[in-house]
Amino acid sequence: IPVDPFDLVVFGGTGDLARRKILPALYRRFCAGQIPDEANIIGAARSEFDDAGYRAFVRDTILEFAPVTLCEDGAIDTFCDRVRYIKLDARGDEGWEALARIIHADRVRAFYFSVGPQLFADLAERLHRHGMASGETRIVVEKPFGHDLASARELNTMLARHFDETQIYRIDHYLGKETVQNLMAIRFANMLFEPLWNSQYVDHIQITVAESMGVAGREEFYDRAGAMRDMMQNHMMQLLCLIAMEPPAKFEPDAVRDEKLKVIRALDTVVLDDIVRGQYEAGEDKPGYLDDVGNSESTTESFVALKTGIGNWRWAGTPFYLRTGKRLRARTSEIAVVFKDAPHSIFGADAGRHANILTIVLQPNEGIELGVTIKEPGPGGMRLIDVPLDMSFAETLGPGAELVPDAYERLIMDVIRGNQTLFMRGDEVEAAWRWTDPIIAQWEEKGERPLPYESGSTGPEDALALMHRDGRRWREIR
Ligand code: BG6
């Protein structure tokens, strides 16, 4: 179903995010028939382009980043006809009058700040000055939303000068991933899991976001951020919130975000003993982190594993183990809910430990897997084995499932539709920093270097020990 006609301006329209994510996502929605003929997509940046030049740029971008099956010349041309370009200076006057002239006063207008946060204030102020900050205006801002609590607060205050909270869409693209949304469907549309979803039945929860790539291409940004700020404060935190939150009364923006906020506020403060920081070394013919960032002194972590808990009735006593890192063995992202053993084994001590594990797989093959214990087939007596009840989306949902929409498709369309459910609210982001800042402060005070780990491994040995000492173990990164 097409959305209503809209104007979408992408500030930073020639940048990396626009190329890799925003423009391909818009194109995919266009191919799905969701973008009406009257829609205006406007790239704005400092580069010297006219409309024709930018259309050629968009065309190349789509050929490079959109799925091959969607790349028909006719479709790309028709899409490009909707695209325009304004050369604009975020900190000066150039381009703003021209932009204001082509923006429609009577439609939804969305302004995507696909630029560094240092330009947010300039953009917001100029939108206001040139009459483009009315009630129908929505602004989209990307992470990193600040570097710590103080800077996040500053950004929130500054945006609030010109925009109401209902107009601000803070993106965490993990919330737009199909499986992440499915996590809410699993929890709140089935009777099976929710009665068991608490510390009485759940032994622990582990969340892994492992990446095989390094930091090449984003060295400068990453070396200032590190895994804690780049992944833990936002993506991992959001996954944890959705797993742990109470059922919201409705699937509506503030109902969902109120519940997430309560989780963040109830998180235990993490002590240094429960954190492992790592930095990758050379391996598999690839350079180490220090060479990648060209800074032999860097103490930035490319890996972090930690244990935390949630101080509320549902979760008291259930540990949450979180780990994320770059240049690990494989690109694997999953959330595993590990249930407790049955209280008594009628099959005797030899039957071993057989915990049910519900795994929500985000990568590489989105899907859901439930580990159940059954009798090993055959006449050999009562021997137990664990087998997965496997629901890989590609297999279960049939042809076309490999075209699972990219997170950005869903999120950009939600901006146009005016649905903030999958976007972070200002207080939520601040609460996440309030939890993150003391962790970083502790290790900065101690001044230890992160532990080295070999590229292509599963991270520092100490990360394994973090769970072993509790009699548990990480699931494999495969
Ligand atoms: C980004 C981080 O937000 O998420 C990157 O800045 C990371 O460092 C990326 O690689 C991971 O996203 P995805 O969707 O590939 O898991």
Residue 70 clears pLDDT 90, i.e. is over it: no
| Ligand 1 atom 5 nearest Cα | 230
CA gap 8, 416 in Å, rounded: 9
Q: Which two tokens stand for residue 468?
A: 């072993």
Mutate to test the pocket of ligand 1, among 230, 289, 326 (most ligand atoms within 8 A of CB): 230
Taking the CA of residue 222 as reference, the ligand 1 atom at the shortest distance is 8
200-232 burial by CB neighbour count: b if 16+ within 10 A, else e?
eebbbbbbbbbbbebbeeebeebbebbbbbbbb
Ligand 1: distance of its center to the CA of 16 in Å?
13
Is pLDDT larger for residue 1 or for residue 324?
324
Query: Which residues' Cβ are closer than 6 Å to ligand 1?
Result: 143, 211, 230
| Ligand 1 atom 2 nearest Cα | 230
Looking at 358-425, list the stretches that DSSP marks H as alpha helix, in order from N- to C-terminal side: 393-397, 407-417
Q: At what angle do helices 23-31 and 73-81 cross, to 10 degrees?
A: 110
439-452 burial by CB neighbour count: b if 16+ within 10 A, else e?
bbeebeeeeeebbe
- 3-class state of residue 204 by DSSP: strand
Q: Which pLDDT band, with edges at 50, 70 and 90, does 135 fall under?
A: confident
Is pLDDT larger for residue 71 or for residue 32?
32
Q: Enumerate residues 6+ apart whose C-beta is below 8 A from 49.
A: 14, 43, 57, 85, 87
Q: Enumerate residues 6+ apart whose C-beta is below 8 A from 316.
A: 199, 309, 310
CA gap 236, 214 in Å, rounded: 18
What integer pLDDT is reported at residue 394 of this predicted model?
A: 66
Residue 362 clears pLDDT 70, i.e. is over it: yes
| Ligand 1 atom 13 nearest Cα | 174
Average pLDDT for 440-457: 95
Mutate to test the pocket of ligand 1, among 21, 235, 477 (most ligand atoms within 8 A of CB): 235
What amino acid is encoded at 250 in this protein? K
CA gap 415, 377 in Å, rounded: 52
> Dihedral (C-alpha) 460, 464, 465, 470: value to the nearest 10 degrees?
150
pLDDT in tens, 376-421: 888 877 888 889 887 776 667 665 555 678 899 999 999 999 999 9
CA gap 476, 458 in Å, rounded: 8
Residue 325 clears pLDDT 80, i.e. is over it: yes
Ligand 1: distance of its center to the CA of 230 in Å?
8
Q: Enumerate residues 6+ apart whose C-beta is below 8 A from 430.
A: 149, 152, 153, 156
Taking the CA of residue 177 as reference, the ligand 1 atom at the shortest distance is 14
Ligand 1: distance of its center to the CA of 446 in Å?
28
DSSP state of 115: S
What integer pLDDT is reported at residue 393 of this predicted model?
A: 67
Percent of the residues in the chain that have a pLDDT greater than 70, as a whole number: 97
Pairing of strands 275-281, 303-308: antiparallel
Catalytically annotated residue among 130, 235, 344, 468: 235
CA gap 256, 430 in Å, rounded: 17
286 is in an annotated binding site: no
CB 44 within 8 A of CB 96: no
Residue 474 clears pLDDT 80, i.e. is over it: yes
| Ligand 1 atom 6 nearest Cα | 230
Average pLDDT for 36-55: 95
Taking the CA of residue 211 as reference, the ligand 1 atom at the shortest distance is 10
Average pLDDT, the chain: 93
What is the sign of the dihedral through the CA atoms of 327, 457, 234 and 406?
Answer: positive
Mutate to test the pocket of ligand 1, among 16, 177, 231 (most ligand atoms within 8 A of CB): 231
Q: Enumerate residues 6+ apart whose C-beta is below 8 A from 270.
A: 306, 307, 308, 438, 439
Residue 152, Cα to own-chain centre: how many angstroms?
18
Q: Is 235 a catalytic residue?
A: yes
Q: Which two tokens stand for residue 57?
A: 């740029």
Ligand 1: distance of its center to the CA of 231 in Å?
7
pLDDT in tens, 210-269: 999 999 788 999 999 999 999 999 999 999 999 999 999 999 999 999 999 999 999 999
Ligand 1: distance of its center to the CA of 172 in Å?
10
Residue 99 clears pLDDT 60, i.e. is over it: yes
Taking the CA of residue 235 as reference, the ligand 1 atom at the shortest distance is 3
Q: Could you identify the residue written with the tokens 């804690």?
A: 228
Ligand 1: distance of its center to the CA of 208 in Å?
13
Residue 364 clears pLDDT 90, i.e. is over it: no
CA gap 272, 293 in Å, rounded: 26
Residue 436 clears pLDDT 80, i.e. is over it: yes
Taking the CA of residue 230 as reference, the ligand 1 atom at the shortest distance is 6
Q: Which residues pair with 170 in a beta bridge?
A: 141, 424
CB 361 within 8 A of CB 391: no
pLDDT in tens, 189-200: 999 999 999 999
Q: Which of 34, 177, 10 is nearest to 83 (CA)?
A: 10
CA gap 175, 415 in Å, rounded: 13
471 is in an annotated binding site: no
Ligand 1: distance of its center to the CA of 173 in Å?
9
211 is in an annotated binding site: yes
Taking the CA of residue 407 as reference, the ligand 1 atom at the shortest distance is 14
- Residue 137: CB atoms within 10 A of its CB come to 19
DSSP state of 20: I
| Ligand 1 atom 9 nearest Cα | 231
